[in-house]
Amino acid sequence: MKKQITLFTVCCSIIQFVFAQSPQTLKVQEYTRKNATPLVREYMEFLAIPNVANDEEGIKKNTAFIMNMMTKGGIEGVQLLTPTTPGAPPVVYGEVKVPNAKKTLVFYAHYDGQPVNPKQWAKGLSPYDPIVYSGAIEDGGAPIIFPPEKAVIEPNWRIYCRSSSDDKAGVFAILKAYEAIKKNDFKLSYNLKFFFEGEEEAGSPHLDEILKKYSSLLESDLWIICDGPVHQSGKKQIAFGVRGDAHIDLTVFASKRPLHSGHYGNWSPNPAMMLAKLLSSMKDESGRVTIKGFYDDVIPLTPLEQKTLSEVPSVDEQMKNELGIKDVEMPGSSLSEVLMLPSLNINGMQSGNVGKMASNQIPTYANAVIDLRLVLGNDWQRQQQKVISHIRSQGYYVIDHDPTDAERKEHGKIAKVISGTDGYNAQRTSLDLPIAQQVINAVKSTTKDQVIVQPSMGGSLPLFLFEKYLNAKTITAPIANHDNNQHAENENIKIKNLFDGIETMTALMTIK
């Protein structure tokens, strides 16, 4: 990346965005157009800092980078909010006090990212080495050599890097929106607070501590959460809720030592087959989770939420086409509908070796990581317990450690289950809230398109914690392109979305 950045020239800075909306939005567009090159360069510097929550050194570098941006941008009270647990990633905080303002907005994003497996990234990509491509790699996008011949940064270019969309884009868009406000002297009616979390992708295990410890500092009228993608149609969206999330790490065991599949095949249990049977018992052919009571706690949508949901345009056919999927998991239900239900997904599954390292053995264990998404009404620990009860119902003896010899003697089927402690519940803010319409109108002022209002997003954020510890309201305004490969290899952000995001955040900061 470094080489490319040095080749970046200030001359290549005309952005060809065609949308035109409120006068303020037009001014922000002009600002991002004129400063496209330094903006992209600065963003790539930010992206190049590794940011997995347990990487203490990387986290420190990220917080330093963000604090520097904030201080340079004229934000006051820049500081780290630390949890009571030592060593956990801090929140980067700052504020803008507006004379005579009685109300306060908090802008949230997170600067940490999902873990990466560099081997899975496309050739030429490296998770923390941001590279600009002329488009999506799968559509034939190619790396851009700087300075580009046309000396123009195209809005459809993409920056490939871990967290380019999730969620350094949020941090960057928020801070650059405030920069645009300062440069343009836009009027603020609300006090602003900035809150950048550092372990969202690890399940926000210490967010509660921070919210409790700094509850008076964090008083507000509304939190604006900048995380996640815009609608698959490309239209901007505002979400009034998120699904919750919880994990189960599941391991089943066979022989204590790996066995030759010839000398023991048919006799020793095969843990991969055991795991396959156990996992497949959790869902039926129609994609419904068969675990007892899995859907029991779900609180149905209100009539207003149902009406709002019905206005979300269908993208099912577009997405099937884009993703190469013929049959969806729950046939007959739309994407919008199924995201209003709890889900069970296998994030990863492993036993023995495949590919060149495969050998003729019966492995000793098989492991899967299960992701549970939750909706309003579900309790994350109760949901985990339902899965555990199901595992027991399949004849497994459930333990939280590798089995002892005594346990192996006693039980034919043994499952080690680690219930992730990183779970949290879903959250939904009422669509009837007075400030809701102001937020919707602010986003509308930035686009000629429909603004999509979602009663809830499919993704997860620990928003219930804000409700629980601060009694705060939250509304989510995502900015990333929907095809950003969030959480996976080849994560990227379209430059158009990054700059549109700055417009959206500016509009939200300046609501009356």
Site for a second copy in 346-365 (CB under 8 A): 346-363
CB nearer a second copy, residue 15 or residue 289 = 289
Tell which one of 2, 97, 256, 307 touches a second copy (CB under 8 A).
Answer: 256
Total chain residues near a second copy (CB under 8 A): 102
- The residues near 326 (Cβ < 8 Å, ≥ 6 apart) are 320
Please report how close the Cβ of residue 92 comes to a second copy at its closest, in angstroms: 23
CB nearer a second copy, residue 93 or residue 240 = 240
Distance separating alpha carbons of residues 305 and 500, to the nearest angstrom: 27
CB nearer a second copy, residue 154 or residue 227 = 227
Report whether 52 contacts 128 (CB < 8 A). Answer: no
252 is a contact residue toward a second copy (CB under 8 A) = no
SS3 249: strand
Please report how close the Cβ of residue 345 comes to a second copy at its closest, in angstroms: 4
Which two tokens mark 5? Answer: 């950045």
Which two tokens mark 172? Answer: 């960057």
Report whether 200 contacts 90 (CB < 8 A). Answer: no
CB nearer a second copy, residue 59 or residue 153 = 59
CB nearer a second copy, residue 21 or residue 367 = 367
Tell which one of 58, 89, 90, 403 touches a second copy (CB under 8 A).
Answer: 403
Please report how close the Cβ of residue 451 comes to a second copy at its closest, in angstroms: 18
Residues of this chain, 313-352, that bind a second copy according to CB under 8 A: 321-330, 333, 335, 338-339, 341, 343-352
Tell which one of 262, 303, 332, 434 touches a second copy (CB under 8 A).
Answer: 262
Residues of this chain, 363-382, that bind a second copy according to CB under 8 A: 363, 366-369, 371, 373
CB nearer a second copy, residue 5 or residue 328 = 328
SS3 229: strand
CB nearer a second copy, residue 11 or residue 488 = 488
Beta strand 104-110 with 222-225 is parallel
Tell which one of 268, 318, 438, 450 touches a second copy (CB under 8 A).
Answer: 268
Which two tokens mark 289? Answer: 């989770």
Residues of this chain, 99-138, that bind a second copy according to CB under 8 A: 114-117, 120, 138
Tell which one of 307, 412, 421, 437 touches a second copy (CB under 8 A).
Answer: 412
Side chain identity at residue 138, one-letter code: E
Distance separating alpha carbons of residues 147 and 7, to the nearest angstrom: 6
Determine the interface stretch with a second copy among 251-259, 300-308, 439-447, 464-472 (rule: CB under 8 A): 251-259
DSSP structure string for 9-72: -TT--EE------SHHHHHHHHHHHHTHHHHHHHHHHHHTS--BTT-HHHHHHHHHHHHHHHHH
- Return the closest-CA partner of residue 289 out of 333, 343, 223, 362: 343
Please report, to the nearest 10 degrees, the dihedral formed by the alpha carbons of residues 292, 330, 116, 498 taken in order.
-130
Residues of this chain, 157-216, that bind a second copy according to CB under 8 A: none
CB nearer a second copy, residue 68 or residue 120 = 120
Determine the interface stretch with a second copy among 62-70, 191-199, 254-262, 380-388 (rule: CB under 8 A): 254-262
Distance separating alpha carbons of residues 131 and 116, to the nearest angstrom: 16
* Other CB atoms within 10 Å distance of the CB of residue 58: 19
- Return the closest-CA partner of residue 398 out of 415, 383, 381: 415
End-to-end Cα, the chain, rounded Å: 41
Give CA angle at 324 (323, 329), nearest 5°: 80
Residues of this chain, 57-76, that bind a second copy according to CB under 8 A: none
CB nearer a second copy, residue 171 or residue 457 = 457
Determine the interface stretch with a second copy among 23-31, 153-161, 184-192, 267-275 (rule: CB under 8 A): 267-275
Residues of this chain, 447-486, that bind a second copy according to CB under 8 A: 457-460, 482-483, 485-486
Residues of this chain, 279-298, that bind a second copy according to CB under 8 A: 279-280, 282-283, 287
Which two tokens mark 371? Answer: 């992701």
CB nearer a second copy, residue 202 or residue 498 = 202
512 is a contact residue toward a second copy (CB under 8 A) = no
Report whether 244 contacts 423 (CB < 8 A). Answer: yes
CB nearer a second copy, residue 192 or residue 239 = 239
CB nearer a second copy, residue 47 or residue 52 = 52
Distance separating alpha carbons of residues 285 and 298, to the nearest angstrom: 22
Please report how close the Cβ of residue 13 comes to a second copy at its closest, in angstroms: 31
Which two tokens mark 423? Answer: 């779970």
